[in-house]
A and B are shown apart, each in its own frame.
Chain A
């Protein structure tokens, strides 16, 4: 691990300023992904700003009936929250489908959103990777791409956004609140938070350097049946090949987001509109324009079957 200096911030704007004024600085939440990447020297921050003392660990009701989740709330605490279990069960299910008990205890809400891809070529520093080393090339294209993205990719990167929590947040239309070094705040819809790679795959999100996530807010509950269905190579503690976050109403309408298939949680209005017509119609809409590789074209069939299984689960619930 490269050497770095460490500080504990005492205010959100102060933390943002500490990172903004230091080119090599990063925020430190739980550290479960960042420290892993620092050991591999994929991440090489020269300064860490620990946000644990900022009191961003609360889950509060909002005035319009939603829920505001502090950036530092752990994945375990969020998934076990009584209101989340009752009104946003797809979020509890998504979080519990990811990582291990030890990691969920330490990982934070903001850190989960900011976790980096698990593309094997991103992790292997002997390989070219445009996300890790801009301009070095992409070894995944034409390489071992079974786990990688089928849509939203570019000629420079086919990495997948790895998380589960954000897929549920996408289905729930969550928003991400931030603050910058000047104290200015902004609210980013989760749909706009993660970027597609385009020509700059090294930039995962729309956050500016030194912009701190302070909270994730859920709008008021939408009701319906909440399902998170994840398919992976083993029964537990593995990243998704395909996952489905679905909220389906008694009248057959609903919303669906897919994980494990794209550089960001994947949802479209046309796919949502097709839900009453069944899984095949939804997947046809959601994956229009998909560019799978030889190794991962199975994900299109798997997405259809995973969604069909989720919708069957809704009917029997």
Chain B
């Protein structure tokens, strides 16, 4: 059997052009009007079209949480969402939470508690953590909540369960949970 890769590459017709569609997103308080290939995920929109590269692409399949952003107050995996699904939505990324000269309390707590090593998962961890404390405050139960009728508390077990969608390959989990607990204590 001859190796035919080169001739195959010449005979495969180019993909037809894809019609773009308009979408308007409010990202970190600023409106962006874009035209996108419908396939464009929210993650790729942030990184490749708006150059907001704080949000990270890890697995691109919703398994690692590195792409976590906050949309209309709720954390989601931006890799598993089309930008077109978010027309008129309000998106907060790590850049919108805080900047080096005015850190969000969760960012400051991650620095204080050394809640990272390589830092790649950190923007997703921080966006997720901010949303986790809001979810606990709103009384949303979790798998480890002992009583569905009671108020929810930011216990170690709750924080670990609720953060399970954010993987840290460096294994900084203990310090991440300490950072979140610190902020939870400060706002309680």
Query: A: which residues have CB within 8 A of B?
Result: 1, 3-6, 28, 30-32, 35-36, 39, 48, 50, 52, 76, 79-80, 85-86, 89, 92-93, 96-97, 99-103, 105-106, 235-237
Select from chain B the residue with minimum beta-carbon distance to A5.
B38
Docked pose: A86 CA to B164 CA in angstroms: 26
Given A1-B39, A39-B61, residue A85 in contact with residue B162 (CB < 8 A): no
Interface range for B:
35 or more
B93 contacts the other chain (Cβ, under 8 Å)? no
Name B148's contact: one of A6, A31, A85, A100 (CB within 8 Å). A85
A106 touches B15 (CB 8 A): no
Docked pose: A1 CA to B16 CA in angstroms: 14
Select from chain B the residue with minimum beta-carbon distance to A100.
B165
Docked pose: A36 CA to B138 CA in angstroms: 29
Name B131's contact: one of A3, A52, A86, A101 (CB within 8 Å). A101
B140 touches A76 (CB 8 A): yes
B81 contacts the other chain (Cβ, under 8 Å)? yes
Q: Give chain A residues whose Cβ lies under 8 Å from the Cβ of B138.
A: 80
User: What does DSSP make chain B's interface, helix, strand, loop or mixed?
Assistant: loop
Distance in Å from the Cβ of B177 to the closest Cβ of chain A? 13
Docked pose: A96 CA to B16 CA in angstroms: 43
Q: Give chain A residues whose Cβ lies under 8 Å from the Cβ of B174.
A: none
Docked pose: A102 CA to B59 CA in angstroms: 15
A101 touches B41 (CB 8 A): no
B38 touches A103 (CB 8 A): no
Docked pose: A235 CA to B173 CA in angstroms: 15
Most buried by A among B143, B162, B166: B143
Distance in Å from the Cβ of B63 to the closest Cβ of chain A? 8
A92 touches B165 (CB 8 A): no
Q: Give chain B residues whose Cβ lies under 8 Å from the Cβ of A36.
A: 61-62, 80
- A-contacting residues, B62-103, CB 8 Å: 62, 65, 68, 74-77, 80-82, 84-85
Distance in Å from the Cβ of A80 to the closest Cβ of chain B? 4
Name B164's contact: one of A6, A48, A79, A100 (CB within 8 Å). A100
